[in-house]
Amino acid sequence: MILKIRYSISICLIFCITNFGKAQNQTLADSLKVLVSQSTTIDSVYLKLLVEISFNESDPVVSEEYADSLISKSRGFENTNYQFNGYLQKGNANVEQGNLKEGLSAYFNALEICLESNNKILEGQVYGSIADVYSISEDYDNAIKYYNKSITTLRNTSDKESLSSAIFNAGDTYFYQEKYDSALIYFNEAGEMFNEINFQLGKAYNLGNKGMVYAKQGKHKLAEENLLAGIRILEETENYYPISVYLTSMSDIYHERHDHPKALKFAEESLKIALQYGYKDQISDAYLKLYEFNKHIGDYETALSNYVEYETYKDSIINIESVRDLANQEADFELSQKQLEVDLLEQEKKTQRITIIGTFITFVLSGLMAFFLYRRNRYIKRTSEIIAAEKEKSDKLLLNILPEETADELKEKGFVDARKYNSVTVIFTDFKDFTSYSQDLDPSELVKSIHYYFSKFDEIMDKHNIEKIKTIGDAYMCAGGLHQQGENHAENCVRAAQDIIKVMIETRAHPPEGMNPLNIRIGINTGPVVAGVVGTKKFAYDIWGDVVNVASRMESNSEMGKINISESTYNLVKEKFNCTYRGEFEVKNKGKLKMFYVD
């Protein structure tokens, strides 16, 4: 995790004075709490004390309590700066605790207040805070959008602290995307501005984050120098969250140097601080590091305990986006059906009146009226059949997008809860040299070729009771073990992979007219995943977890026409299939993993 500088505001005298990324001061916060406890009047002085406490309190849970008190007790005051500061710090505190959804909501409340006051400095700062949350959530499109808003707005102000920090925070987007050279360009520009204005917290974060970039580039000496320099500054200000993050990075450096005792020591110190102050995301990261280190040195019992704690805290900060808009669309569809039924009923009533009047006027027309009634009944029946057919089409379309169990839950509740599955087998496939092959094809021929293979794969998945998840270009991803698909999902997935290989061999032997045969790689891995529905437009069912990334690595480390499986999958299928041990292979971000070919 790379660190951002938070946006914070304090109020002094009558006007709002901005202190972007203001350092926390626990000693000051504790002394001001005494004054608040002794106050008997809620006035501007009292509210200013709440502001200062919420911004200087190092415990985010306590900080949020004072921010909520500030919001509640400043309602009705003409000066809206108190409300603004309350919402802003409520956002900061929630983000530190890993409650990203609540933090983003608070930031947008703060933005609404500063837009009404036309304060460009505050507006630019809040844009930056919103961008930070999107960046943490890995929504890089929105992160870049709001960073640009922040930087553009702040360049037209005199607030160099806010501008430099916005540039600094934008740099971490490149870090997350592993564009380390670009990240250093942003960090260096921000660092020059921090030094110019003597912004201590900015200096500390800049040193620490540059250290993390150097660590990723393998420049361990530079990384350690920068990280330790940043930690020294942060210890003076009692700013513990970034210290926890940087200690985790130090543990990585010593792990790379094979100094495992020191690596464990730094990871344990990081965890101690994160537990003390309730930093959920950092607790999760520290437990993951301890799991990796203990597993590496052979202490499997401790490693297992660490991994269980990691999963617990990771699940507490997973934030699946709501699908209520989809429910609204479903409701609109049902409403339109109800309206059609009402229209039909009105039509029926009109026809009945005509029948009564016609019968009353003349008995001679009764035969003709009987004919009209017959036509009316046929119309109603036909219309009902159309409605039923359209509903069936709608249900089939939904089942093409979502698993049946998930679709039923969506129709019943209007939303879908994310679910964790302890054992799922994931398949990845990829065609050899597809990019160069596709460049020489007409677009319609390219689509025809992809459709041919993926249709065959879809049939295979149905045959083996495996859920298709998605396709990405020429890659095909599916999973077994979801939605009560049985305990033999690993075996089913291997058999499905073998059927895919058979399809490729048969196509090469007897290619359809106008189609060039392709070769394919297949990778399989088994483990726990979280599954759910994301998005409100073009929504999709998807799965997340480390098992998905490892399955992809299995595919990329496979050979053409081969099925490459992980150790976890091998342990489940070794009694059913002949497998060949390939050895241990270096995998990005995972170290060395054992791999096997299915014969």
Residues with Cβ within 8 Å of 306's Cβ and at least 6 positions away in sequence, in order, are 287, 288, 290, 291, 294
Residue 350 banded pLDDT, cuts 50, 70, 90:
low
Here the CATH number for the domain that contains residue 211 is 1.25.40.10
The answer to whether residue 209 is domain-embedded is yes
If asked whether residues 313 and 343 sit together in one domain, one would say no
Lowest mean pLDDT among 17-21, 106-110, 359-363: 17-21
The answer to whether residue 298 is domain-embedded is yes
Beta bridge partners of 587: 591
Please, are residues 523 and 551 in contact by the beta-carbon 8 Å criterion? yes
What's the domain range around 263? 199-319
Sign (positive/negative) of CA torsion 186, 190, 205, 137?
A: negative
3-class secondary structure, 89: helix
Please, are residues 583 and 590 in contact by the beta-carbon 8 Å criterion? no
Please, are residues 524 and 551 in contact by the beta-carbon 8 Å criterion? yes
b (16+ CB within 10 A) / e for 114-153: beeeebebbbbbbbbbbbbbbbbeeebeebeebbebbbeb
If asked whether residues 445 and 541 sit together in one domain, one would say yes
The answer to whether residue 229 is domain-embedded is yes
If asked whether residues 314 and 336 sit together in one domain, one would say no
pLDDT at 174 over 50: yes
The answer to whether residue 409 is domain-embedded is no
Residue 322 banded pLDDT, cuts 50, 70, 90:
very low
> Among 552, 575, 578, 577, which residue's Cα sits nearest to residue 566?
552
The answer to whether residue 525 is domain-embedded is yes
Mean pLDDT (whole number) for 54-62: 87
> Among 282, 284, 252, 248, which residue's Cα sits nearest to residue 268?
248
3-state secondary structure string, 450-510? HHHHHHHHHHHHHHCCCEEEEEECCEEEEEECCCCCCCCHHHHHHHHHHHHHHHHHHHHHC
pLDDT tens profile 507-537:
888 888 777 788 899 999 999 999 888 766 6
Mean pLDDT (whole number) for 406-417: 66
pLDDT tens profile 562-599:
999 999 999 999 999 999 999 999 988 888 999 999 98
Q: How many domains does the chain have?
A: 3
Point out the domain boundary residue: 340, 360, 394. 394
The per-residue pLDDT for 333 is: 35
If asked whether residues 305 and 370 sit together in one domain, one would say no
d(CA 174, CA 176): 5
The answer to whether residue 43 is domain-embedded is no
If asked whether residues 543 and 426 sit together in one domain, one would say yes
If asked whether residues 554 and 479 sit together in one domain, one would say yes
If asked whether residues 590 and 456 sit together in one domain, one would say yes
- The single residue listed with the structure tokens 């592993």 is 178
If asked whether residues 219 and 349 sit together in one domain, one would say no
The answer to whether residue 53 is domain-embedded is no
Here the CATH number for the domain that contains residue 534 is 3.30.70.1230
CA distances from 242 to 76, 204, 233 (A): 37, 9, 11
The answer to whether residue 49 is domain-embedded is no
The pTM of the full predicted model, rounded to 2 decimals, is: 0.42
Helix 81-97, helix 120-136: angle, nearest 10 = 20
Tokens standing for residue 126: 């809040």
If asked whether residues 579 and 465 sit together in one domain, one would say yes
Lowest mean pLDDT among 179-183, 209-213, 308-312, 470-474: 308-312
3-state helix, strand, coil in the chain (%, to 5): 65, 10, 20
If asked whether residues 340 and 272 sit together in one domain, one would say no
If asked whether residues 435 and 384 sit together in one domain, one would say no
pLDDT at 329 over 60: no
